[in-house]
Structure 1
Amino acid sequence: MQLRHIALAAALISGLWITGTTQAQGFVFGTAEPKAPAAAPAGARNAKVESAQRLLARIGLLRETPSGTLTPATLDAMRAFAARTGTAPASEVNDALLNAIRRHIWTSQNWSSGNYKGKEKIVDAQGLREAQILLGKLGFSAGPLDGTFGPQTQVATEAFQESQGVSVDGLITSTVLMNLRRAVNGAGAGAKETLRVLNWPDYIEPSVLQDFEKEFNIRVIYDIFADNDDLQARLGAAGTPYDVVFPTANAVPGMAAKGLLGKLDKASLKNLNNIDPRVDATLRAWDKDGAYSLPYMWYTVGIAWNPKLTSKAFPGHSVDTLATVFDPAIAKRFQSCGIGVVDSASDVIPLAAMAGGQTKWAGRSSIAAAEKVMAGIAGTVKVIPTDQFIDSLANGKLCVAIGFSGDAVQAQGKSRGAVEYRVPADGGLLAIDAMAVPANAKNKRGAHQFIDYLMRPQVIAKVSNTVGYANANLKAGEFMSASVKSNPAVVPSTTSLSRSSPIPVLSEQDEQEITRIWSRFAK
């Protein structure tokens, strides 16, 4: 981490709060207004404005993407906030306004218990306390080390995320805690260069990043994205580019056609021969020449359930079919114990088309079939965010759901075996998550070093053992946990795989139609 960033952020934070307090967090707001710099001119990006926009969006008052610029929509949201809370309307974003919004969120949305609208985003109390200690070591004042997720910790976390150049939300997730640990114990400010990585949530073994940093003296900035649409938006946005990304393989052709991905320099990859040629051949169903991507993990999209809960909701029903989720009459039987689909339209919609009688993706007719199916289950089946899917299954908040095999394996581990997963008897999807280098990557040499590092058998085996997904490495098996490599949710039987179709390559028109269906369904 840059020391000047640490000092700047620490100075900013320390001015917001009472110092030396032993009071527990939750409402530790400064009483004296510090001297603030002049407001940024209209149109200029401002970190406080961006924070206010994120907070206003969380309480439903702002619909646009946080930009850091004081837009008319932001001013309208600020006026709406003042009307809602009975406070004086503000014409600029200052510390008093930010504190007022945070105070309102903590009282109205139960953030003091570590929740964001009831969604489990925050690590447990022990993890929170560790994060507070680590933030302090990095120069960010997180308040009392009490394991309570209060406003002071949130502001310190935002400043840390801002200094890292990653997505800023102020919430201490497992990814943020991992990044804090590496910032303290990894390569740090002494690294010779930086590598920016963008991956799916919960999709890496933390020690792999730290070991890479130490071996190559490269500081890894690690960020996460929600889905392939989010990934494409990040790659096309202004700002510091990423160096390594992990798109689903069926999204690779479209990203490459838009100029978002660069061709790999495979001659520089010493461990290329470790890749299983069968998996690589499957990858070519999407990346025809294998020019832009290499396999990272492979998996199926199927159905996960909690037998104890489903047997109570619908005794005697065979759960491992698409009809369980996509037939409205059957889905209603499970509504009381929680039925959902993972928030990944490009995975769920093709399965809905299968449930609607389409044995093979055929563009317009498949879209029509899927739309009819999704309309039938709207209001019954929930959309589960990708970063909450595992915990929702593990904690019994969902009794049945369509999702990724690896997520189901992680839920099995967290629930001590209470979760089952299968490729549906009437068809599932086979997918590969790929490793790729964006066309505008700044550190392409480091990107290839990182990809080559992940192709070491011992390294990728660690990742599979942690995330519960099958890797594409011929030699990794001897280093993998027996409980992982023998799990049919990780490596399905030949029969199950025969029922799995590769996720289709979607045309631009398909993508637009899927987005339209999904936005209507997810309302």
Structure 2
Amino acid sequence: MKFHTLALSATLVGSVWIAGAAQAQGFVFGTAEPKAAPTAAAGARNPKVESAQRLLARMGLLREAPTGTLTPATQAAIRSFAARAGLAPTSEVNDALLNAIRRHIWQSQNWSAGNYKGKEKIVDAQGLREAQILLGKLGFNAGPLDGTFGPQTQVATEAFQESQGVSVDGLITSTVLMNLRRAVNGAGASAKETVRVLNWPDYIDAGVLQDFEKEYNIRVVYDIFAGNDDLQAKLSAGGVPYDVVFPTANAVPGMASQGLLGKLDKASLKNLNNIDPRVDATLRAWDKDGAYSLPYMWYTVGIAWNPKLTSKAYPGYAMDALGSVFDPAIARRFQSCGVGVVDSASDVVPLAAMAGGQGKWDGKNSIAAAEQVLQRLAGTVKVIPTDQFIDALATGKICVAIGFSGDAVQAQGKSRNAVEYRVPADGGLLAIDAMAVPANAKNKRAAHLFIDYLMRPQVIAKISNTVGYANANLKAGEFMSDSVKSNPAVVPSTTALSRSSPIPILTERDQQEIARVWARFAK
């Protein structure tokens, strides 16, 4: 997702089914005839029910989170699907029903082409074929090795994700492909212990994870979350706990007060002195005593755009203002080439409040101002999922958007510098993503080893070079590529930084109101 400390000023405080695909990606449950699987009884937790719930939700038939429990709402959704598909009435989940749901998904939502409802989520054909090969090496039957993402590949992917103990969605994203590669080539059953990591999408270098595994013989289970709300939900949900998480710093106080984060054992961190004290001081704007967090990366929230596309849509317009997205008359000029905001309410709503005349966050008034701004943008401005933001920019699916500086840098790399990014002339946000240890972490020793490893200059520089975000390490500059550390999107000028307000701490009431406003805007 989203410092290098070169120029850091004192103010720095993601129904037609192609016949070939249908044949190539049939449901393959082994060479022998599958034994009949027991149906899921009401009240029982079952992986097949959870799969059905995810698919029914994608079809718009279910509006509750997947739990693996056969709830009344799930049964009603199943009956609705059965009626729509002309199947015998049922309210249970078995293989026949699940396969019918999957076939409908592929036929109606074009998943064989690598997307669902137009939202890119799946790697390209070459990556799919590699994933299918790797799944096979791990004992999961992904069907023919044809680079087509069909139902059987989803079945195998779900099984792999379940075996890893990470979030299950059955889709082969770049993170899943990375995890498959590490599962085959990295520390496996021979590892003496495991550390479970939960991070933002596209926010690590895969080689860093494998090098850590090799050096310590500790397997890294790597999972992602979509935003701070999602992170908090995952930490609160129970299940197997995570050991290292990466919240945005303004979310740390709330998570700590709820007992979700534990205090760091800083005495065990050998590389602590590598942290730039100015960045650490900035972190204290949120985590006052620095007890719960250390800086990972820092970034700004501003405007990214494709000059070639925007100049056609609105010739002569200067893009570096909040109005490029938040002024409805201007946003409509860019609607033809795509105008959006990243799906991160805690970042976008404060900027919308700025655009609405609230220079300083004060809770109630700021939320009201942001709500008025966002209401006027309904139907014009798209909400882009965090794990799709980079590709949407890089491929020209959107021409202007509010988002994270590092994501814009990654989009620049993928688009051969067709993307530009600026801190808005009328104000942007400054934020730090932190490293923290959940209060219920099972392996706190390995968690601190992992955090300490990321504070090595060569390691964090490698991550910055990959993700396009600035780090907080005093000694990392000599290991960073010139194209990254000299990029003003990575390290803004002192003037640009002076226009960047620290992202506000949000009270629980703020978060509830922002969630309400965002749900209405993003629907």
Summarize the Cα distance change of 1:23–1:496 in structure 2 as closer, same or farther, 3 Å threshold. closer
Give the Å deviation of 1:362.
1.1
Following the alignment from structure 1 to structure 2, what is the Cα–Cα distance between the partners of residues 142 and 157? 8
Provide the residue aligned with 2:329 in structure 1: 329
Question: Where in structure 2 are the equivalents of 1:65-80 lying within 5 Å?
Answer: 65-80=65-80
Give the Å deviation of 1:258.
0.1
Question: Where in structure 2 are the equivalents of 1:334-483 lying within 5 Å?
Answer: 334-483=334-483
Following the alignment from structure 1 to structure 2, what is the Cα–Cα distance between the partners of residues 70 and 98? 14
Provide the residue aligned with 1:201 in structure 2: 201
Following the alignment from structure 1 to structure 2, what is the Cα–Cα distance between the partners of residues 205 and 198? 14
- Counterpart AA for 1:324: S
Give the Å deviation of 1:90.
2.2
Provide the residue aligned with 2:60 in structure 1: 60
Q: Does 1:234 align with 2:234?
A: yes
Q: Do the aligned partners of 1:24 and 1:144 also contact (CA within 8 Å) in 2?
A: no
Q: Do the aligned partners of 1:294 and 1:436 also contact (CA within 8 Å) in 2?
A: yes
Following the alignment from structure 2 to structure 1, what is the Cα–Cα distance between the partners of residues 437 and 224? 15
- Counterpart AA for 1:252: V
Q: Do the aligned partners of 1:119 and 1:388 also contact (CA within 8 Å) in 2?
A: yes
- What percent of counterpart residues are identical? 84
Q: Do the aligned partners of 1:24 and 1:146 also contact (CA within 8 Å) in 2?
A: no
Provide the residue aligned with 1:51 in structure 2: 51
Normalised TM-score (structure 2): 0.94
Q: Do the aligned partners of 2:29 and 2:141 also contact (CA within 8 Å) in 1?
A: no
Following the alignment from structure 1 to structure 2, what is the Cα–Cα distance between the partners of residues 486 and 23? 49
Summarize the Cα distance change of 1:387–1:484 in structure 2 as closer, same or farther, 3 Å threshold. same
Following the alignment from structure 2 to structure 1, what is the Cα–Cα distance between the partners of residues 36 and 50? 16
Q: Do the aligned partners of 1:341 and 1:403 also contact (CA within 8 Å) in 2?
A: yes
Normalised TM-score (structure 1): 0.94
Question: Where in structure 2 are the equivalents of 1:134-283 lying within 5 Å?
Answer: 134-283=134-283
Summarize the Cα distance change of 1:472–1:22 in structure 2 as closer, same or farther, 3 Å threshold. closer
Following the alignment from structure 2 to structure 1, what is the Cα–Cα distance between the partners of residues 41 and 223? 30
Give the Å deviation of 1:29.
5.7
Q: Tell me the SS of whatever aligns to 1:302.
A: strand
Query: Could you report, residue by residue, the CA deviation over 1:38-79 in whole angstroms, capped at 9, with x for unpaired residues?
Result: 334421211111111111111111111111111111110001
Q: Does 1:26 align with 2:12?
A: no
Give the Å deviation of 1:35.
2.4
Provide the residue aligned with 1:5 in structure 2: none
Following the alignment from structure 2 to structure 1, what is the Cα–Cα distance between the partners of residues 28 and 450? 43
Give the Å deviation of 1:345.
0.5
Q: Tell me the SS of whatever aligns to 1:336.
A: coil
Query: Could you report, residue by residue, the CA deviation over 1:90-141 in whole angstroms, capped at 9, with x for unpaired residues?
Result: 2321110111001101110001111111211111111111111111110111
Q: Do the aligned partners of 1:166 and 1:221 also contact (CA within 8 Å) in 2?
A: yes
- Counterpart AA for 2:472: A
Q: Tell me the SS of whatever aligns to 1:516.
A: helix
Question: Where in structure 2 are the equivalents of 1:80-119 lying within 5 Å?
Answer: 80-119=80-119
The 10-residue stretch of structure 1 (83-92 or 60-69) with the greater mean CA deviation from structure 2: 83-92
- Counterpart AA for 1:25: A
Q: Tell me the SS of whatever aligns to 2:358.
A: coil
Q: Tell me the SS of whatever aligns to 1:431.
A: strand
Summarize the Cα distance change of 1:22–1:388 in structure 2 as closer, same or farther, 3 Å threshold. closer
Could you list the runs of 5+ residues in structure 1 that have no partner in the other structure?
A: 1-20
Give the Å deviation of 1:34.
2.9
Q: Does 1:500 align with 2:464?
A: no
Q: Do the aligned partners of 2:41 and 2:92 also contact (CA within 8 Å) in 1?
A: no
Following the alignment from structure 1 to structure 2, what is the Cα–Cα distance between the partners of residues 180 and 373? 43
- Counterpart AA for 1:333: R
Q: Tell me the SS of whatever aligns to 1:122.
A: coil
Following the alignment from structure 2 to structure 1, what is the Cα–Cα distance between the partners of residues 89 and 197? 41
Query: Could you report, residue by residue, the CA deviation over 1:475-515 in whole angstroms, capped at 9, with x for unpaired residues?
Result: 00000010000000000000000000000001111111111
Provide the residue aligned with 2:516 in structure 1: 516
Q: Do the aligned partners of 1:296 and 1:434 also contact (CA within 8 Å) in 2?
A: yes
Provide the residue aligned with 1:7 in structure 2: none
Looking at both structures, which has the greater relative contact order when contacts are Cα pairs under 8 Å and sequence separation is at least 6? 2
Q: Tell me the SS of whatever aligns to 1:337.
A: coil
Q: Do the aligned partners of 1:248 and 1:432 also contact (CA within 8 Å) in 2?
A: yes
Following the alignment from structure 1 to structure 2, what is the Cα–Cα distance between the partners of residues 491 and 194? 35
Query: Could you report, residue by residue, the CA deviation over 1:370-417 in whole angstroms, capped at 9, with x for unpaired residues?
Result: 111111111111100000000000000100000000000000000000
Give the Å deviation of 1:196.
0.5
Following the alignment from structure 1 to structure 2, what is the Cα–Cα distance between the partners of residues 473 and 25? 49
- Counterpart AA for 1:396: G
Give the Å deviation of 1:33.
6.8
- Counterpart AA for 1:264: L
Give the Å deviation of 1:331.
0.8
Number of residues of Structure 1 aligned to a counterpart in Structure 2: 503
Q: Do the aligned partners of 1:23 and 1:144 also contact (CA within 8 Å) in 2?
A: no
The 10-residue stretch of structure 1 (118-127 or 226-235) with the greater mean CA deviation from structure 2: 118-127
Following the alignment from structure 1 to structure 2, what is the Cα–Cα distance between the partners of residues 23 and 200? 34
Query: Could you report, residue by residue, the CA deviation over 1:262-316 in whole angstroms, capped at 9, with x for unpaired residues?
Result: 0000000000000011111100000000000000000000000000000010111
Q: Do the aligned partners of 1:305 and 1:420 also contact (CA within 8 Å) in 2?
A: yes
Give the Å deviation of 1:26.
3.4
Would you identify which runs of 4 or more consecutive aligned residues in structure 1 move more than 4 Å? 21-24, 28-33
Q: Do the aligned partners of 2:242 and 2:441 also contact (CA within 8 Å) in 1?
A: yes
Q: Do the aligned partners of 2:131 and 2:180 also contact (CA within 8 Å) in 1?
A: yes
Following the alignment from structure 1 to structure 2, what is the Cα–Cα distance between the partners of residues 94 and 490? 50
- Counterpart AA for 1:483: S
Q: Tell me the SS of whatever aligns to 2:287.
A: coil
Query: Could you report, residue by residue, the CA deviation over 1:3-29 in whole angstroms, capped at 9, with x for unpaired residues?
Result: xxxxxxxxxxxxxxxxxx999523446
Following the alignment from structure 2 to structure 1, what is the Cα–Cα distance between the partners of residues 512 and 306? 34
Query: Could you report, residue by residue, the CA deviation over 1:139-192 in whole angstroms, capped at 9, with x for unpaired residues?
Result: 111111111111111100100000000011111100000000000111101100
- Counterpart AA for 1:403: G
Provide the residue aligned with 2:133 in structure 1: 133
Q: Tell me the SS of whatever aligns to 1:332.
A: helix
Q: Tell me the SS of whatever aligns to 1:188.
A: coil
Q: Tell me the SS of whatever aligns to 2:297.
A: strand
Summarize the Cα distance change of 1:48–1:23 in structure 2 as closer, same or farther, 3 Å threshold. closer
Could you list the runs of 5+ residues in structure 2 that have no partner in the other structure?
A: 1-19
- Counterpart AA for 2:312: K
Following the alignment from structure 1 to structure 2, what is the Cα–Cα distance between the partners of residues 192 and 452? 19
Q: What RMSD in Å do the two structures reach over aligned CA positions? A: 1.5
Q: Tell me the SS of whatever aligns to 2:209.
A: helix
The 10-residue stretch of structure 1 (56-65 or 438-447) with the greater mean CA deviation from structure 2: 56-65
Q: Tell me the SS of whatever aligns to 2:421.
A: strand
Following the alignment from structure 2 to structure 1, what is the Cα–Cα distance between the partners of residues 89 and 41? 19
Following the alignment from structure 2 to structure 1, what is the Cα–Cα distance between the partners of residues 319 and 341? 15
Summarize the Cα distance change of 1:391–1:317 in structure 2 as closer, same or farther, 3 Å threshold. same
